[in-house]
Chain A
Amino acid sequence: MSAASPEPAASCVGTRPTEDRPAALLDIRELTVEFRQGRRTPPLRAVDGVSLSVAPGETLGLVGESGSGKSTIGRAVLGLTPVRSGTIRFEDADITRATAKVRRELSARLQVVFQDPYSSLNPARTIGSTLAEPLLVQGRLTGRQSADRVAEMLGRVGLPPDTADRYPAQFSGGQRQRIAIARALMPGPRLVICDEPVSALDLSVQAQVMNLLAELQEALQLSYLFVAHDLPVVRHLSHRILVLYRGQVMETGPAEALYARPVHPYTRMLIAAVPEPDPGTQRSRRAARRGGPLSAGPLSAGPPSAGTAAVTDRGCAFAARCVHALDICRHDRPLLLPVGAPDRSGPVTRSAACHRASELLAQP
């Protein structure tokens, strides 16, 4: 649980020494990932100086819209995308640019579940063969032992043992996602990167798979880095949430607190945009924002600023869409700083990258 980490989950390097942090399972510092876009155009910065950590047994949810870099962070941790700068530490070892040999060794403790249950299983291989794959690397098991392990894992994710002899085409999306989860758990990992694992599933099946993920976490003491765009899903499964916009961290904090009282204007906008499954609530929400933008009205204290200055690269990434933006937001990129005061329950666990965070926190 997040209670295990007494410090803000993600903070900028320099604002806080790293030595006195508890041993995190995954610790990312100032991660930057860029993609080339041809010779003329400058590279696209998909992840821009992101720091985060995941404690043992904890779920950290990464949310944001498409293009926020949330999936890229997961891929960088897995070594599927080259890192421009920054460090990724797993179990206290630097794996930022791990060699193929180190990655092979890591695969037993660091695993992944992808979004698309159709592309993530090889259609030409039986389920048994796919599940036994991670064991090939360890290479110490006999055929019999690995078949037993496959059967045990299938039972664990709620599939009949004869699943092993069949091909992916014979299963529905939900069943395939169970199989993908089983494959990830085969080598007994400590951290599983879940890249939109339930987005492609129907509501009733989505709930089944979400429960399975929660159950397995408890039983096997797993940590999840849970990447998703669906806020209610992330809230339900995560202990802490990290909100990303254009590759930068906007806000982070314990899931319930962040969802109940979002500080950053972007988080507020995201939460307000999710339609509530309650016609009454939706009607009043619509009335509240009629003609206005997607969040509560602008802070009255702010000087009029809209459109006075163009947003520069050095400014806040969200300034152009923000109703509270001041001139300073367009010139100075806000640091990710703790918000709120420490109270009896412990030190501050929330941070936001916003010049007006304290004003916004005070706003009802």
Chain B
Amino acid sequence: MATSVQRWWHKLVWPWSPLSEREASEAIVRNLWLHWFPAKVSGRSMSWSYSLWLGTVAASLFVILTVTGVMLMFFYVPSTERAYGSIKDLQYAVSFGRILRNQHRWAAEGMVALVFIHMARVFFTGAYRGARVLNWLVGVALLLLTLMLSFTGYLLPWDQLAYWAITVGTNIASEAPVLGPTFKYLLLGGHFVGQQTLLRFYVLHVFFLPAVVWILFAYHMWRVRKDGGLAAIEPLRAMRRAEPKEMPRSKSYSLFGLTPGTSVAVMSSMGLEERDQVASSPNLTRRMILVFLVVFNITLLLSLLVNAPLEGPANPSVTPNPAKAPWYFVWLQELVASTTVHLGKVTISGGLVGGILVPGVLLAALILWPFFDRSTVSAEGVWFARERTRQNVVFAVITVAIIILIIVGMYLRGPYWRLYWPWSPRPVLPRVL
């Protein structure tokens, strides 16, 4: 039964199946879409438990975002007069408009989270060591770009939530010494969030940032291959290298007498053996399609169940109480608020601590960490290697602290930025009628 279902399935959706190893390798090399895969991939890199496929999940989200984003561009008008109305049209009148926007929104929120979780995986498996340090740096850049993509997209609906989140976010940025105010002015195209800001954020969001992300993403993938695949193979590679190898028999003389033996032994770039690997086609491609399908289904399900937030139209004269930055920046807002000190009539702003010092130090740490990591090869490509326990604890503690600050900022901060337990009543804010 199972085999006949499988056969029919193959006939329907999988019209071609490689008959030999060679055919499978050629399929990968010759195909435009597949050529960035190696012809063969190690079983360990393919496992669910090592990578959790988080990078593929993040990339799948980015593909969904690109496709839904291009479709949204057909309807969205980046002007302060019409932006909000065009989102309302999407929500109420355009066929599948609501689901399209929901999917774009949830995929975007998901991508911010997933890119970070992917980075955490790389950290906990010590996968940034050695040659992979460059790809780690590319990854850090991709994380920052993802945050910027999400932040620029946040403004586009031009509702109260968008307007004030961007106002709060750019105010935090302006706390940077010397360059802060200039950076804010450059980003906003003025001193306040307005038409210039909307246009700048739009261009950054739909063209500049996605283009950079696509280029860096391609480079990120290429580096994975250049570095010999996922770090998961490193323990195996070390094992294979240690195994004594028989030199191939040859009639030739030694190469100019410089190399020992009678032949030049060339190791495969991966340093693995046939038995450690499987053909990328169809094993890797099938699993990638599966991951993409799962991600697509989750975003679609979420889009059917939960609507993307949309509040009243942006109103510069009415500040929501409280006004909050987007969730991935709300921990900074929380830091700014909790480090602001009132001494009598004098207020010392926490902007420098929460807006600049903490994020600056954390970013510097992310960039420099691999260069100070003294762990050995045996800690590479292994989850929670004992040798790296101290490093992993530091990373985990900082991550948990950020998550706690996000939860406090998002769920416990109520009107007048006071703390409320979820079950405690919050003051009723005055209305017009």
The answer to whether A and B interact is no
